[in-house]
Structure 1
Amino acid sequence: MEAQAHVELTTRYTLSSWVGLFFWVALSFAAAGVGSRFSPGDWYAHLARPAFNPPAWVFAPVWTLLYLVMGIAAWLVWQERGKARVAPALTLFLVQLALNAAWSWLFFGLHRIGWALVDLAALWLVIGATFLAFWAHRPLAGLLMAPYLLWVSFAALLNFYLWRLNG
């Protein structure tokens, strides 16, 4: 009977773990979905762009991979909820998702390049805080946030040059 209870708990934990993984990855992609409602369109095509601006086809695969990895990082921290207080770290994660989605609205939706840059600065700070908070719970989760921080650093540089060239 005790062995059966152990198997059931393990199975439930595994199911819970998979559901949690799905939730955190889906939540990350939901933020992507909100942001994708605002497409570059003709406005962006007519902007003066710096020489280091990547071709348009680069953004979709990079962001897809980043959203997947971000969701996995959040899930790894969420799995620590029985051992540690993870709510502050996951709250930072949610805040950075909101700032991420807001950037698309500001930049592509409202065409406010300067305000989008301000959003990116806040996003960068919150991603950095999320990286540190995740690292404290699961170093791998922190490391998984590093490519996102690097990409947003590049995006901020690109946004800055777009603002200077077109603002």
Structure 2
Amino acid sequence: MLKCFWNETVASLYKETLSPALRKILHSALWFRFSSASFALSSILPKTYYHLRSIMATQQLKHRTTTSEETKQQPTTSTMNGTARTRRQKAKRGLRSLGIAVAFPLSLTLIDISLFGSSQQYRAMEKPFWVPRLWALHLACLGSAFLMGLSAWLVWAEGGFHRYPTAMLLYLSQLALSLAWDPVVFKAGATRAGLVLCVGLLGALVGCSRSFKNVNPIAGDLVKPCLGWALLLSATNFKLAYR
């Protein structure tokens, strides 16, 4: 088919200008050149085609690899962001609950001192060296309230009040007994009743120390200074009752 097309093209170009013998020689020469070019082109095109196909396949593979890596990285980044956000929220809740646990007994103790903490009889009495001044007495009450609030928060943070409901009852009991001492002793002047309150306070603090230690040893250790203060308060109350 290609040869027929070539014959018709050459014949139409040279049939009027060249002799038959010269046209035949020129036709053979041109056909040889055309056939050689066609053969070369036919051998080059498949190689070029397969080369282009391999390049396209390589580019597609790179694109798929990049896409898969990005897809793997996106969930990892979102998971890390979610974990960091959860930790920040937990930290905020923990700080808020700690502030409430400490501020609650401190505020009640401050109100109790401001309303019932003044006593002329206590200031005027002759006190031995180990009996604290009135301001030191109030300061020690505030320190005890702070330590008990902190220890109670440590127990609550580990779910101790849910596992040991008695621990919560003991904590509230010592807080109530501590708050009742100022109005009973300083305002009412009932020093012997105050001595009973001190004994109850000591028992509640011993129970708190044991219960808190079962949940968190640090919380149990924080109660020990409060026990020492309760012993000093009991001795002071005994001096007031039997001076």
TM-score (norm 1): 0.88
**Matching residue within 135, 145, 149 for 1:67:** 145
- Indicate which of 43, 54, 77 corresponds to 2:132: 54
The equivalent of 2:104 in structure 1 is 27
- Name the count of aligned residue pairs: 165
- Which whole-Å deviations, capped at 9, do the CAs of 1:56-82 have from their partners, x for residues lacking one? 342243333322222211111111018
Partners of 2:161 and 2:198 lie apart in 1 by 33
2:236 maps to 1:158: yes
For structure 1, which segment, 46-55 or 113-122, has the greater mean C-alpha deviation from structure 2 after superposition? 46-55
The CA RMSD over aligned residues, in Å, is 2.1
Q: How does 1:112-127 map to 2 (within 5 A)?
A: 112-127=190-205
Pick which of 129-138 and 24-33 moved more: 24-33
**Measured at CA, do residues 62 and 145 of structure 1 come closer, stay the same or move farther in structure 2, by a change above 3 Å?**
same
Q: Which residue of 2 aligns with 1:16?
A: 93
Alignment match, 1:42: 120
Identity %: 25
Structure 2: distance between partners of 1:20 and 1:130: 20
Letter of the 2:88 counterpart: T
Residue equivalent to 2:81? 4
User: How far is the alpha carbon of 1:87 from its aligned partner?
Assistant: 3.6
- Greater shift, 58-67 or 36-45, is seen at 58-67
CA distance in 2, matches of 1:38, 1:90: 26
Counterpart of 2:221 (choices 136, 143, 164) is 143
Contact 2:161 2:167 in 1 (8 A): no
Displaced runs of 4+ in structure 1, greater than 4 A?
none
Q: What is the Cα deviation at residue 104 of structure 1?
A: 1.1
Higher RCO (Cα < 8 Å, 6 or more apart): 1
For 1:97-136, list aligned pairs within 5 A.
Answer: 97-136=175-214
Q: Deviations over 1:75-120 (max 9, x none)?
A: 1111101896254323311111111001111111211100011011
Residues 83 and 69 of structure 1: CA distance in aligned 2, closer, same or farther (over 3 Å) = closer
The alignment partner of 2:93 has SS state of helix
Structure 2 portions without partners, runs of 5+: 1-77
Gaps of 5+ in 1: none
Letter in 1 for 2:237: N
State the distance in 2 between where 1:149 and 1:82 align.
Answer: 21
> Which is higher, the Rg of structure 1 or of structure 2?
2
Question: Within the alignment, does 1:96 sit opposite 2:155 as a pair?
Answer: no
